Amino acid sequence: MEKRPLGNTGMELTKLSFGASSLGQEFRSVDLNEALKSVRVALDSGMNFIDTAAYYGRGMSEVLLGQVLPDVPRDQYYLGTKLGRFAPKHFDFSPRRVEESIDISLERMKLDYLDIALLHDIEFVDVDRVIEETLPALRKEKEKGKVRFIGVSGYPMKIFKEVLAKADIDVLLTYNHYTLQNDMATELVPLCKEKGVGLMNGAPFAARLLTNAPLPEWHKATPQVRELAKKAAEHCAGKGVDIAQLALQFTIANPDFATCVTGSANPQRIQQWVEWAALPLDEQLLSEVQAILQPVHNWFHIEGRPENNDTPAKV
């Protein structure tokens, strides 16, 4: 699988990476044996980066990874986790919690160090405080050798621009902002290149919006967004293509993003994604689908504190 450089880190990530949120049953109940097998299938299929978080399953994702990773040579994969968000409404970005969270994550996954540690969903808190207090605390963990590279993750574009302007980070992870429907994350490309920051993308399916699966109850898509996404999916089906295939292929085609993180606790699904990734992108179908989605192009929602978001257009 194609590998791409992650900023100035010296790491090269495969264009498709394994997201371990599903191991924490974030979307549905999972079979534990299937979940464990999915990690092995991802690694065996060539993916070399695993993304998880203390938040996923409130620790369950990391614990399950700890059942698999000790059997895999440490030089065969990179591992990133996130901290700061620990439950839907519980956030703690204090310096003390940074140190504790890193140690607990290492213990859960039975690792000696993390390749990447990200501050998770910083849009829910005071971003200036994250920059002034939390990132320096995380940098101390880097100096101790517990973490190789540090950064932030979240949803609004505004938070990334602010952090890139005011802080020194190695990597960042954006999600839902480089898909068939929303490509706003391209705004971050020149900013990251200028500073040598590694840019990672997540959620090519926009939380199932760009699939044939029903949307989760918490999805914030408006009726028009849902209607046009369904129309696009039906158009793809009429051409004999699953819209999820087109969504995945589109997202991983852009070399400005070191990798695209997506996950499942279904080994068959992961194998299918790997097969899709190897197929050529249908440019004609892509153009047709983008035309269908044009009225809701770059629609986004408010996430976290309002002041940490740009004002969305009404759709």
Q: Please state, in angstroms and rounded to a whole number, the distance separating the CA atoms of residues 6 and 301.
A: 28
Token reading at 195:
């500073």
Alpha carbon distances (Å) from 145 to 12, 117, 138, 152: 20, 12, 11, 19
- Under the banding of pLDDT at 50, 70 and 90, the label for residue 28 is low
The overall average pLDDT reported for the chain is: 95
pLDDT tens column, 181-234: 999 999 999 999 999 999 999 999 999 999 999 988 889 999 999 999 999 999
Between 54-63, 164-173, 187-196, the lowest mean confidence (pLDDT) is in 54-63
In the block, residue with structure tokens 């369950």: 60
SS (H, E, C) 92-157: CCCHHHHHHHHHHHHHHHCCCCEEEEEECCHHHCCHHHHHHHHHHHHHHHHHCCCEEEEEEEECCH
- Considering only CA atoms, give the Rg of the chain: 18
pTM: 0.94
Q: Please state, in angstroms and rounded to a whole number, the distance separating the CA atoms of residues 7 and 191.
A: 11
pLDDT tens column, 259-279: 999 998 899 999 999 999 999
Q: Please state, in angstroms and rounded to a whole number, the distance separating the CA atoms of residues 264 and 6.
A: 23
pLDDT tens column, 67-81: 999 999 999 999 999
SS (H, E, C) 196-235: CCEEEEECCCCCCCCCCCCCCCCCCCCHHHHHHHHHHHHH
Beta-bridged to residue 78, according to DSSP, are 49
Alpha carbon distances (Å) from 178 to 13, 129, 206, 248: 18, 28, 9, 10
pLDDT above 80 for 24: no
In the block, residue with structure tokens 């740009």: 310
- Name the residues annotated as catalytic: 56
Q: Please state, in angstroms and rounded to a whole number, the distance separating the CA atoms of residues 131 and 115.
A: 21
Q: Please state, in angstroms and rounded to a whole number, the distance separating the CA atoms of residues 212 and 232.
A: 10
SS (H, E, C) 150-186: EEEEECCHHHHHHHHHHCCCCEEEEECCCCCCCCHHH
Amino acid at 50: I
In the chain, the domains with their CATH numbers are 3-207+247-281 (3.20.20.100)
pLDDT above 90 for 55: yes
Q: Among positive and negative, which fits the CA dihedral 246, 205, 63, 146?
A: positive
- The CB density around residue 73, as the number of other CB atoms within 10 Å, is 7
SS3 of residue 12 by DSSP: strand
